[in-house]
A and B are shown apart, each in its own frame.
Chain A
Amino acid sequence: MKRHFRVWRGDASGGELRDFDVEVNEGEVVLDIIHRLQATQAPDLACRWNCKAGKCGSCSMEINGMPRLGCMTRMSTFTEDETITVTPIRTFPVIRDLVTDVSFNYEKARETPAFAPPPGVAPGDYRMRQVDVERSQEFRKCIECFLCQNTCHVIRDHDENKPAFSGPRFFIRAAELDMHPLDDRADRKEYAQASQGLGYCNITKCCTEVCPEHIKITDNAIIPMKERVVDRRYDPLVWLGRKIFRRDELESASAKPSSAHPSAPHPPTANPSAANPPTVNPPMSSARLPQTAPVGPDGHMDIAELVAPQQGGLSPFGEDIEFPLPPEQISYHHPDPDKSPDH
């Protein structure tokens, strides 16, 4: 069956939406159609992809105005007479067709301080509990599709904010290291605030909305990072408490602050096995105690998001807009590098 597609074609000097009528078979995804266009009508149509299974984060594009992975957008989600409009992700400069220059993200990655291994713990001696690593593991699911970066209004159409703002992808990186049980740096939150531009974020949750890995970027990374930065800044006592206690323990500790004792809060962990006599058994966790994650009674993080009808927060485009938009309402404007946005 033939379907109508409009695909943005052009390069840094400009371009336009081109119309294509193309065969679509049962079970196909938008990326398949792009491939069919390459094979039959437009061999030089530029588009990134690798895995075709939502694992590599290469095929980010905007489909009927919605930032998505081309390989994970099934054709069956559109009605049969619907025109499908495919444009490049908008926050980054176009190179050609659907391919954009995402080097911004790699620069920000380079500026984010790396994992600091705990001194004195030999390779092979790292011991961590599953519940402690799960918080960071959520953020390590990131496939670097940069859809969250593309969606965040702080830099979408606002190139002027790019130098100061690292974006949600790198907030979760900072949060991941902050929650890493053995990371030796204690200033991840302060760094996010001072150098990554965390303050620009006003928690609109757009990033969470588009994340194909369903990472709760705002709830699990940004908000906790902000909270604690605020706490630390304005309340030195709480700051001290945070250093010493896990958050759940803090609640009870603040009721009787006299019990604050730096060596007490370490929770007893699994018994050292015979193979690891206590003398050589390194700490299960670093001296710097992790804050709690939303861990359920079974000791695991909840997966409600996977089954919820809608993950994360509200739609970045407003709750009253329905996707897909009618094609005549879509106008992709390539940002003009010479003109600063007029809003």
Chain B
Amino acid sequence: MNKDVIVIGGGIIGCAIAYSLQKRGKSVVLLEKHNLVAGASGACDQGILLQSKAPNEHLLLGIRAMEMYKELGRELGRDLEFTQKGYMLLMESELECRVMDGIIEKQRALGLPVERISADEALRRQPGINREEIVGATWCPWDSEVNPYMTALAYADRAAELGCDIRTRTPVTGLVMEGGAVKGVVTPQETMYAETVIDACGVWAPEIGRMAGLEIPIRPRRGQVYITEAVPLFMRCNLLNARYIVAKHHPELLAGDHSLKAQLGVGFCMTQSGKGNVMFGATREFAGMDNRCTLDGLREVLAEATRLMPAVKELNVIRTMSGLRPYSPDSKPLIGFVDGVPGFFMAAGHEGDGVSLAPTTGKMVADLIIDGTTDVPAAASFNPNRFDLRPKAP
């Protein structure tokens, strides 16, 4: 079989890419080892977050992604449960407020409507928060939500309607290499050829990279979450705590903290799905490829959620879930052709932002492959060649 492009991986990133390329007239086959959204995209939260973006071209990228999501349901012909309830970032100390004030000022200068609000105002916007634990909050009405697995499936279904060949239960077990270039892929059923092979395998991207003799620096960062029964409107807006955003700018804030909570990287987030299920989490742990929930992880997440949002104690939990975020060393995905390996294109490493960035990633990949250039903001900072991808000498 011969195609223009082979996309490996049927998560939200692979599905968005397959759709974007097929829409622009490329012939595409998408290969997924298990079923669609078998990885992180089937075990994640729904946030399209702008407040968490650094006040530079990355914020502009986030804004573009949010704007694309506004139109996406119509484009794909399906309700993706996109809503814009906004996010509040809870702050627990004066230091956090100071740091966030600095960030907000720069974000506002770039056009993001984000503001500082008092603890009382935070409680008015979202009843049930623990007034004793917070000193203030930030509020951004542009932060949004979307159903991640429905988005991925809608991308895949629309791509298929346009002629994309989607094959589930089809693992890529090897690459066809010729003189250092990638010419195709091997699966248990057949060998396929294409001009371009895209590695969109999330945390499994390094396995495909190794088949091309590359060392891809992506590591799994596990996230454990709780899901409650569906209830009437409980979250008027979405919640997050500011701790990890502040820590990005002031690492010393976390450096002295050796508690289990800190070791597991527990950050607080709480949202409610379109169906009414409240979801909260989450850990941010390096625990290899093990994606099970753990007693320690669930305990710490529960303690943090009931501390900051005691009202959640009234709800019944029906499920817990965990997924592996594709972490890259500088928290940015690797998107682009790999130098020295013609035909091989990377598109993985979105860590906790893959849902937000799926539409812009799809567009960026199609632009780069078809036009050789793109107007997607921050695209240059995702160039995979910023890392040394050649294997280190043993």
Q: Do A and B bind? A: no
Measured CB to CB, the residues of A under 8 A from B are none
Instruction: Enumerate chain B interface residues (CB-CB to A < 8 A).
Output: none
